[in-house]
Amino acid sequence: MHTFVKLMKQIESSGTFSAFGKMGPIFPGLMIQNVGEISLPLSEHQAKDIVNQWFREVVKSLITIQEPNRAKHALAEIFKMLIVIENQQIANEVIASISNYKEPTNLFLIYASAVLNLIESHKSQLGDLGIFKIIAHDFLQYAQEHYSSSPIAPINLTRIGQISCTCDFCKEVNRFLPDPDRSNFCFAKVLQRDMLHIETKIKEHHLDLTIRIERQSPKFKGIISKNQHSYEQALKRFEFVEQVRRTIEEIFSLCIEVKHGKT
Ligand SMILES: [Zn+2]
């Protein structure tokens, strides 16, 4: 006994020992960043901690993606992993950290697409809907904020926007834009480079105009017409967000039916 106590006194850190039988090898001092010291074999609790910590790191790097096509896939993958991990606290953390995907354009391009992707690929695997509800309710809140009603088609030929250039050509276009009665007009006998200048300005300012440049020997002419491009784009965004909204509501109502036994 004396020898044993003497041996124990030499140990300077905490550890595990067995007084009876044989133990498997234990690796001392295994530290995982933000999880702490772990022992092997892992307990279920420690294993979950490690997975959660790993997932937080993955999310941190994925949500820095800005390119919409990659971002929507990354976000869909994050959502699918959340469903598997089934941790509501982490789901709330993730939802809070994706604020950059909740601006009107990103909500349409990234968030709505990712939610739809999750529903389409996991329809029957959304679990008890706890995690899905956290995602869906957050999405619906922002959808309501940015896409509460259908955009209104222009009632006359008035178009918003002005070109920030003071040349005579741009001045003429600026007078044409708010005019409710003119749908088109023409610059006759002009230089091609002046019409290309107008074309560039239309693109730069995202104006609802198109320009057709034609040869009018020995010079050129530019025919400028109004269109409804902004309205059509807005309608497209609204309809897509609306589609995702309806799909979410279908899932919720399906869930209520199942609960009431009306399958
Ligand atoms: Zn100009």
Task: Indicate whether 195 and 239 sit together in one domain.
Answer: no
Asked whether residue 242 falls in the same domain as residue 137, the answer is yes
77, 125, 131, 65: which is closest to 101 by C-alpha? Answer: 65
Give the H or E element holding residue 52: helix 44-62
How many Å lie between the centroid of ligand 1 and the Cα of residue 9? 87
Query: Are 119 and 204 contained in the same domain?
Result: no
Residue 157 lies in a domain: no
Q: Which of 68, 254, 72, 244 is nearest to 142 (CA)?
A: 244
Q: Write out the residue range of the structural domain in which residue 122 sits.
A: 44-150+234-248
Q: How close is the Cα of 187 to the center of ligand 1, in Å? A: 13
Of residues 197, 260, 255, 258, the one with CA closest to residue 224: 197
Q: If you measure from the C-alpha of residue 182 to the centroid of ligand 1, how many angstroms do you get, rounded to a whole number? A: 20
Q: Indicate the helix (H) or strand (E) that contains 59.
A: helix 44-62
**Backbone dihedral angles phi then psi of residue 140, each to the nearest 5 degrees:** -60, -40
Asked whether residue 132 falls in the same domain as residue 243, the answer is yes
For 172-202, the pLDDT digits (tens) are 999 999 999 999 999 999 999 999 999 999 9
Which pLDDT value is given to residue 263?
A: 44
pLDDT for residue 238: 97
Task: Name residues of the chain where pLDDT drops below 50.
Answer: 263
Between the CA of 169 and the centroid of ligand 1 the distance, in Å, is 6
Residue 174 Cα to ligand 1 midpoint, Å, equals 10
Query: Is residue 190 situated within a structural domain?
Result: yes
Q: What is the CA radius of gyration of the chain?
A: 31
What distance in angstroms lies between residue 104's CA and the mean position of ligand 1's atoms? Answer: 31
206 Cα: distance to centroid of ligand 1 (angstroms):
15
> Which has the closest alpha carbon to 107: 145, 152, 74, 64?
145
Q: What are the pLDDT digits (tens) for 72-99?
A: 999 999 999 999 888 999 999 999 999 9
Same domain, 132 and 221: no
CA–CA distance, 4 with 79 (Å, rounded to integer) = 54
The CA 196 to ligand 1 mean position distance, Å, reads: 10
CATH of the domain at 192: 3.30.1370
Please count the structural domains in the chain. Answer: 2
DSSP string, 74-135: HHHHHHHHHHHH--HHHHHHHHHHTGGG-SHHHIIIIIHHHHHHHHHHHGGG-TTSHHHHHH
How far does the centroid of ligand 1 lie from the alpha carbon of residue 232, in Å?
A: 27
Q: How far apart are CA 215 and CA 189, in angstroms?
A: 9
